[in-house]
Structure 1
C-alpha cells in the first residue's frame, strides 16, 4: 500500500463535507479512513499515532471541533479495538479501510431510522425547533405526511440558520413561522413540545447544540413542555462539561470587551478640555457580534426529556450507559 506524500487530511475532510448528506463526524471518519489508505505505518502503534496526529491536525484547523472530535474519537476507538486476526498488517489496514467506508455508508441511513422512531412520539399539534438540523428536517417532513403539524422556528442568530429551516418546510407545505430568539418564552404556551438536533450528546447525557438551545430547554422545563433531542450515535461524545465554559471551543475571544477609543487632548492652547477621538458614533456590525459570541451551548441532562437516536429512544442516563458500553468494546 503506497503512501501519497502530498496527502492532506484537512483537504480530504473538506472534500467530504461538500456532500450535503455528510455531517462533520462522518467527514472526519472518512478523512481518517483515507489517512490509513495513504499511511506507511507498519505497526498498529504507528497507525494509531498517525490517526491521533491526523485528528489533532483536523482539530487545529476547525473553529468548532466538538462534533468532529466525536467522529475522530469513535473511529480511533474502533481501530484500537479491531480484532488483529489478519495474515499481514497490510491486510489489516485494507480491512480497516473497508469497514470505515461501510460504516459511513450505513450511517447515512441513521437519520431515516431516527425519523421513523421520533414520528411515533409526535401527535397532531405545534412544534418548536431551533436552527437547522438535517435529522430534524427529515423527521418534520416525515411527520407532515402522517400528522397535522405546524412548526415554530427560531431565527437562531448569529448564523440565522432557522430561516433556512423555515424556507425548506414552507416549500414542502408545512405550516411554519419564524420567531425571534427573544420570543421563545412568548411562544412556548402555543407549542406541544420542543424538537432540536445536536452537535454532540455528551457523557453526562447533556446536549451540545446551536447556541440558544440551553435557554429554550430552560423555558420548556418551566412551562412543563417536553424537550426532545435527535442525535445520530456517531455524535455521542466522551465529554463531561459542567458548565458552558468547559466546552472545548470556548476561548477568551468570546464575550470580550473591546478597548474603548482613547481620548485626545484638544490642540487649543487656551483650553484643557479633552475630546473623544472621532466625531462619528461607533458602528457595531453583525459580523463583530457573531465573532464575539459562541456558536454552541451546553444543555444539562435534567432539562432533556428524551434523546432519539438510531440505537433507540434514550433517557439522558441511558446515553451515559450506552457510551460506556460503546467504548468498552
Structure 2
C-alpha cells in the first residue's frame, strides 16, 4: 500500500504553533519526528501548505503583488543561487540544491515540481564531477534531498523521478566523452524545464474546447492550470458561469473567484456543503490535481472525492486538468492509503478540550468518477493513464 512506501512517510516539519517567520526549515537544525496525530498533539504541517500560507494566506487586493515580492530571495537579489555560484567561481561548494529550489518555489505561478526540475538542472551546471557515475550520484543525492523537503508532496516526488529518468535514460551517454555527456545532460535538463513551464498553456488550449457557450462550471480548490483553462476560454469570447466552493480552511475558492471576477467571468461563491444543493445547475466539474496515480484516479484537495461522487450520481462530467509531471507511480486503494498531508485548521472558535481535529488536506478520487483528464500529452481517459506513465518513466 502507498502508506507503506519508503518514499512517503509522515513529514517532519516545524510546530504550527511556532512564529510565522519560521516557515524556512532546515531538517538538520530541527530534527523533529512525528509518528502520528493524537488528541492534544499539535499537528506537523506539511511544507507544501506552509508555502501556500506564505503566498496566499490573506485574501487582499494585493495578495499577488505580495507573492511576487516574496519571490525575491533572502539576500534581496533576483539572481538564482546557481548563477551566483557560477559567477563567483565557487561551483558546487557555493551551491545547495535546496537553496535553488526555495528560490524557484517562491515564484507565485511556479509549481513545486517545476521548481524542483529547475533546481536539478542547476545541479548539472554547478557540478564539478569528472565522471558520469559521479555526476549521476550528485543528481540522485540532490533529488533525494528535494523529495525529503516534503515527503508528502506527490508532484514534487514525481517531478524529481521524471527528471532523473528524462536526463539519464539513454545508453549513448556511456559512449561519449564526459564533457559531451555533461553538455547533453544540461541540454536535456533545460529542455525538460521548458516543457514543464509550457505545460499549463498546452492544457488550456485543449481544455477550453470543452467549455461551451452559456455553460455552468463547478470548481473546487485553487488550481492554476484550471484557472489558465478558464482564462483562455474567456479570452476567446466564451460566456460561461463558474461556481466556486469556498474551500475552507484555505479559502481557495475566495481567491479563485477573485481571479475570475477580475477578468469579467460571472462567478458565484458556494459554501462547501452546498455542492449537492447546486449540482442540478452545473454542466461540468473542473478539478486540478496534486497527483495523478496509476489507476487513473487523482489525489487533490479535501472534498474533491465527495464532489465527484455527487457529480457522478447526477451524470455530470468531471474533468481534471493536470500536468504530466504530476503523474506518479502510486496505486492507492482507498482513502486510508494516503499518507496525510497536514494543514492548519482554524475554526474561528475554541476547540473543546479532548476533541480531535481532522487536519488531512487531501483525498483520493477513484477513476470511475472521472470523465477525462486534460494534460499536455493530450486528452486522456482515466484508463489510459497507466500507459502514459509507462511511456513517461521508460
TM-score bracket for this pair, using the shorter chain length: 0.7 to 0.9
Q: How many residues are matched?
A: 297
Report Cα offsets for 1:275-326 as digits up to 9, x if no partner.
Answer: xxxxxxx9239xx99x841222211111110001111110011111111122
Q: Secondary structure at the match of 2:92?
A: coil
Residue 119 of structure 1: aligned partner: 208
Shift of 1:64: 3.8
Provide the C-alpha distance between the structure 1 equivalents of 2:149 and 2:392, rounded to a whole number of angstroms: 28
Provide the C-alpha distance between the structure 1 equivalents of 2:237 and 2:207, rounded to a whole number of angstroms: 12
Identify which of 205, 220, 240 aligns with 1:130.
Answer: 220
Residue 96 of structure 2: aligned partner: 8
Spell out the pairing of 1:207-222 with structure 2 (5 A cutoff). Answer: 207-222=298-313
Contact (CA 8 Å) 2:163, 2:192: kept in 1 or not?
no
The runs of 5 or more residues in structure 2 that have no matched partner are 1-85
Residue 284 of structure 1: aligned partner: 351
Q: Which moved more, 1:315-324 or 1:55-64?
A: 55-64
Residue 150 of structure 1: aligned partner: 241
Contact (CA 8 Å) 1:196, 1:229: kept in 2 or not?
yes
Residue 261 of structure 2: aligned partner: 170
Provide the C-alpha distance between the structure 2 equivalents of 1:254 and 1:196, rounded to a whole number of angstroms: 20
Contact (CA 8 Å) 1:130, 1:153: kept in 2 or not?
yes
Q: Secondary structure at the match of 1:163?
A: helix
Residue 180 of structure 1: aligned partner: 271
Q: Secondary structure at the match of 2:184?
A: helix
Q: If you compute each CA radius of gyration, which structure gives the higher value, 1 or 2?
A: 1
Shift of 1:102: 2.4
Q: Which moved more, 1:147-156 or 1:79-88?
A: 79-88
Q: Secondary structure at the match of 2:94?
A: coil
Provide the C-alpha distance between the structure 1 equivalents of 2:92 and 2:310, rounded to a whole number of angstroms: 53
Provide the C-alpha distance between the structure 1 equivalents of 2:96 and 2:186, rounded to a whole number of angstroms: 17
Greater share of residues in strand? 1
Spell out the pairing of 1:1-329 with structure 2 (5 A cutoff). Answer: 3-62=91-150, 64-82=152-170, 83-84=172-173, 87-124=176-213, 125-144=215-234, 145-247=236-338, 249-250=339-340, 283-284=350-351, 292-328=358-394
Contact (CA 8 Å) 2:199, 2:376: kept in 1 or not?
yes
Shift of 1:254: 8.8
Provide the C-alpha distance between the structure 2 equivalents of 1:244 and 1:51, rounded to a whole number of angstroms: 33
Contact (CA 8 Å) 1:204, 1:240: kept in 2 or not?
yes
Contact (CA 8 Å) 1:199, 1:210: kept in 2 or not?
yes
Contact (CA 8 Å) 2:373, 2:380: kept in 1 or not?
yes
Q: Secondary structure at the match of 2:332?
A: coil
Q: Which moved more, 1:147-156 or 1:43-52?
A: 43-52
Contact (CA 8 Å) 1:21, 1:108: kept in 2 or not?
no
Q: How large is the Cα RMSD of the aligned pairs? A: 2.5
Shift of 1:158: 2.1
Residues 40 and 243 of structure 1, relative CA distance in 2, 3 Å threshold: farther
- TM-score, L = length of structure 2: 0.70
Structure 1 stretches of 4+ with a deviation exceeding 6 A read none
Report Cα offsets for 1:163-212 as digits up to 9, x if no partner.
Answer: 11100101111000111111111111110010111111111111111121
